[in-house]
Structure 1
Amino acid sequence: MILLILTFVVAMLLSIYGVPIARRAALKFGIVDNPDGRLKHQREPVPYLGGLAIYLAFLVSLAFTFEFRQDVLGIVLSGTLIVMLGLIDDFGVLSPGTKLAGQFLAVFVLIKSGIRIEIASLPDWVDVVLTVFWMIGIINAFNLLDIMDGLSAGVGVISAAFLCVVAILNGDQAIAFMLAALMGSLLGFLRYNWRPASIYMGDSGAMFIGLMLGALSMIGKYTTGHSVSLLTPVLILGMPIFDTLFVMYIRFLRGLPVFLGSPDHLAIRLRHWGLSVTQVVLLSYLGAALLGGIGLLVMAVPQDLAVVLSGVTVLCLAVAAVALTRVNVSTGTVAMSAEAVPARSTERTGVV
């Protein structure tokens, strides 16, 4: 446990040290997110490369504290590919198709390394299909969630914390150490990404979070008690999954491409409801924590109660989705209270 805490602390300190360096490099080379007056409303350009600092802090902290096994190396290699893909995409030179192909390549590396869903009652090819679907979905879910200062990184910390609890309960040191390193890296980054953000993680960071959490949740053990606990990783990662499904549904209704930026996210609709950015982010953290707690309960309780918990959760999410669909976002502006208008607004929307 001491070594696990050390991994977390080292990753956090490395991130706190490395993020300002990445910020200076991004400003020097012009790797910044410029306001466009349509979906990005920050009042001045904000540098990217936060994702690179997160990745390096994660990798170095593991190198200091944990031995790299084959499965760990497979996840690290896949994470490296996704970070490189994100860095290139942050320059705005990749088409959605090329970006998706790169994500498939990273997932292929995972599968080749033996990192995949394994359900005994299903044939291997179905497990592979489920693995690809799960990984591509989670990678893009965290990328879609990265629309407000501190949102994606904070939800990532909370989700990683619950998955780390599962790993500790199962005695899986490899998963626990990697999640501890990820939590530390993200917390260090949050010091600079909290509103008003001085740096963004960019696609490299958001996709890296998605890949790591998707892969580590996928290989955890959940079904020691009953099969319903297979829903535990879905619930722990429920906030980005719910946001993605909601956005896809709204864009489908509006006849828009799924990967086109638009103010359809849960967070943006909550802003139109009159909440400040800080309130929206904290409410999202609370939602992620509640879903994570329900995920742990589903593992711990008998099967019948787990079914009831899961059903009630889905029903509550459906009610929330219906309520949010009625929020009017057609004006293209966000309702702000006096407290919600800072000297330097860094809100942006629809970053895909």
Structure 2
Amino acid sequence: MRQYVFVIILTATLSLAFSWGVWRLSLRYKLYPGIRERDVHTNPTPRLGGVAMFLAILAAFAVSAAMPYFSLVWENPAQMYSILAAATLIAFIGIADDLWDLDWMIKIGAQFAAAGIVAWFGGLQILSLPIGGMTVVSSWLSLALTLFSIVIVMNAVNFIDGLDGLVAGVCLIANGIFFVYSYLLVRDSGASSYFNLGSFLAAVLIGVCVGFLPMNWSPAKLFMGDSGALVLGLLMATSAIAVTGQIDPAQIAPGPSEAGGLGRSQLLGAFVPILLPVVIVLVPLLDFGLAVIRRMGAGKSPFSPDRKHLHHRMLDMGHSDRGAVLIFYAWTAVVGLSMLLMYVFSIYITPGQYWPGIVFGAVGLAACLVVTFLPATRRRRAARPVPTLESRP
């Protein structure tokens, strides 16, 4: 665990330092675009923060290559270099888009190319599904499923990048939850080493977000732009596939396994959390899905920008910028922690019992709903006419 903490602290420090440097250079050379119609901010702000985040990620990978604890993953250097190559491609495409607004076809093509590098050359593919423990038999089906999963998560993360601190905070919470889950899952599976690629990537992303958030918190001095949001989405999807997509359902024994395998009593604990990578990005995925449906229904490209994202709607409801961001944090934390608690309770505390996580999720979601719609309720009450003496019977 100390090695992971070191990676988080190192990446956070470098991310903050690089972010400050990119901010200063952007101001000096006026590397910031004008205000767009859909933007919430009112002052021109540099949006090359993704450059700083990418440099911090590169540094974390370089340091890990020199640490004996992480030597296991570097035994397959092609996998690590494939991830770095995919992240580099997306970072450069994102930078170009942040500066010159590329056509969406170019961006989506680059995203599929990056996903292909991870899946084909890196060998990271979805081999199993959480639905009944199905194994993906066809290699082409596995490849296609992996490509679309990575591209969807990348765009889902990018689509919510509209408020100060929103993406960095949501990804920080999501990766924090996933780091705990992946660490416990590998330990509980009886692995000889607690190290795994998914946990390493999650630790790197935690550090990146921690270091970048001070520069991005409202009022933001620096935006991460597409170069940051797309790289975050790419690595989040990759870390999830590296852990949950590689689990073979055949490893689950009929009962508690003395060899360290997972028993049938732990079936839900093993496969429901496979959905955790989806759950922790549930809000971005929901926003992405609604945007695609909305735009295609209007006869537009699914990637055409507008001002109807969930965070825009929350502002229209009466939430402040920071209030909307904190509510997004709460939604992410509640849905992610509820799944994590289901796993923890079923494995460690009350085997086979998942009700604590379900209760936590139900109460948390109810509280989030109340806070989310509270401004709208107040506005409706304020809009009601006040009865006068003449109008009373």
TM-score by length of 2: 0.74
Aligned to 2:162: 147
1:77 to 70, 81, 85: 85
Tell me the distance in 1 between the aligned counterparts of 2:212 and 2:10: 13
* 6 and 305 in structure 1: CA distance in 2 versus 1, 3 angstrom threshold: closer
Root mean square deviation of aligned Cα: 2.7
Tell me the distance in 2 between the aligned counterparts of 1:31 and 1:180: 30
**Tell me, which stretches of 5 or more residues in structure 2 are unaligned?**
66-70, 129-133, 187-193, 250-261, 377-393
Aligned to 2:229: 206
1:94 to 82, 99, 102: 102
Tell me the distance in 1 between the aligned counterparts of 2:337 and 2:101: 40
1:135 to 138, 150, 155: 150
1:175 to 193, 198, 222: 198
Instruction: State the percentage of identical aligned residues.
Output: 28
Tell me the distance in 1 between the aligned counterparts of 2:6 and 2:318: 41
Tell me the distance in 2 between the aligned counterparts of 1:235 and 1:40: 27
- Letter of the 2:305 partner, please give it: G
Alignment partner of 1:40: what SS? Answer: coil
Asked if 1 retains the 8 angstrom alpha-carbon contact of 2:49 and 2:222, the reply is yes
In the TM superposition, residue 296 of structure 1 has moved relative to its aligned partner by: 1.8
Tell me the distance in 1 between the aligned counterparts of 2:301 and 2:108: 15
Tell me the distance in 2 between the aligned counterparts of 1:88 and 1:59: 19
User: Could you list the per-position Cα deviations for residues 4-45 of structure 1 after superposition, in whole angstroms to 9, with x for gaps in the alignment?
Assistant: 111111111111111111112223443313113x21242221
- Letter of the 1:85 partner, please give it: I
Tell me the distance in 2 between the aligned counterparts of 1:228 and 1:181: 25
How many correspondences in the alignment? 317
Alignment partner of 1:116: what SS? Answer: coil
1:122 to 136, 141, 147: 136
In the TM superposition, residue 179 of structure 1 has moved relative to its aligned partner by: 1.5
- Letter of the 2:171 partner, please give it: G
Deviates more, 1:196-205 or 1:89-98: 89-98
Tell me the distance in 1 between the aligned counterparts of 2:21 and 2:108: 29
User: Could you list the per-position Cα deviations for residues 157-214 of structure 1 after superposition, in whole angstroms to 9, with x for gaps in the alignment?
Assistant: 1111111112211134332222212111111111010000011111100000000001
- Letter of the 2:84 partner, please give it: V
Aligned to 1:58: 57
- Letter of the 2:175 partner, please give it: A
- Letter of the 2:148 partner, please give it: F
Tell me the distance in 1 between the aligned counterparts of 2:2 and 2:337: 24
Aligned to 1:342: none
Aligned to 2:17: 17
**Tell me, which stretches of 5 or more residues in structure 1 are unaligned?**
328-352
* 230 and 174 in structure 1: CA distance in 2 versus 1, 3 angstrom threshold: closer
1:106 to 104, 114, 130: 114
Asked if 2 retains the 8 angstrom alpha-carbon contact of 1:18 and 1:57, the reply is yes
Tell me the distance in 1 between the aligned counterparts of 2:308 and 2:352: 36
In the TM superposition, residue 243 of structure 1 has moved relative to its aligned partner by: 1.7
- Letter of the 1:115 partner, please give it: L
Asked if 2 retains the 8 angstrom alpha-carbon contact of 1:193 and 1:199, the reply is yes
User: Could you list the per-position Cα deviations for residues 187-244 of structure 1 after superposition, in whole angstroms to 9, with x for gaps in the alignment?
Assistant: 1111010000011111100000000001101221376543444322211221211221
Tell me the distance in 1 between the aligned counterparts of 2:62 and 2:301: 41
Tell me the distance in 1 between the aligned counterparts of 2:326 and 2:288: 19
Alignment map for 1:196-345 (pairs within 5 Å): 196-221=219-244, 224=262, 225-226=266-267, 227-300=271-344, 301=346
Asked if 2 retains the 8 angstrom alpha-carbon contact of 1:233 and 1:295, the reply is no
Tell me the distance in 2 between the aligned counterparts of 1:93 and 1:268: 21
User: Could you list the per-position Cα deviations for residues 236-284 of structure 1 after superposition, in whole angstroms to 9, with x for gaps in the alignment?
Assistant: 2212112212222333444443212112211111111111010100110
Aligned to 2:39: 40
Tell me the distance in 2 between the aligned counterparts of 1:178 and 1:232: 16
In the TM superposition, residue 86 of structure 1 has moved relative to its aligned partner by: 0.6
Tell me the distance in 1 between the aligned counterparts of 2:272 and 2:202: 24
* 236 and 40 in structure 1: CA distance in 2 versus 1, 3 angstrom threshold: closer
- Letter of the 2:22 partner, please give it: A
Aligned to 2:389: none
Deviates more, 1:11-20 or 1:295-304: 295-304
Alignment partner of 1:248: what SS? Answer: helix
Asked if 2 retains the 8 angstrom alpha-carbon contact of 1:3 and 1:65, the reply is no
Alignment partner of 1:91: what SS? Answer: helix
Aligned to 2:259: none
Tell me the distance in 1 between the aligned counterparts of 2:101 and 2:278: 32
User: Could you list the per-position Cα deviations for residues 279-333 of structure 1 after superposition, in whole angstroms to 9, with x for gaps in the alignment?
Assistant: 1001101111111112324545488959x959x98xx79x97xx98xx8xxxxxx
Asked if 2 retains the 8 angstrom alpha-carbon contact of 1:236 and 1:295, the reply is no
Tell me the distance in 2 between the aligned counterparts of 1:253 and 1:65: 47
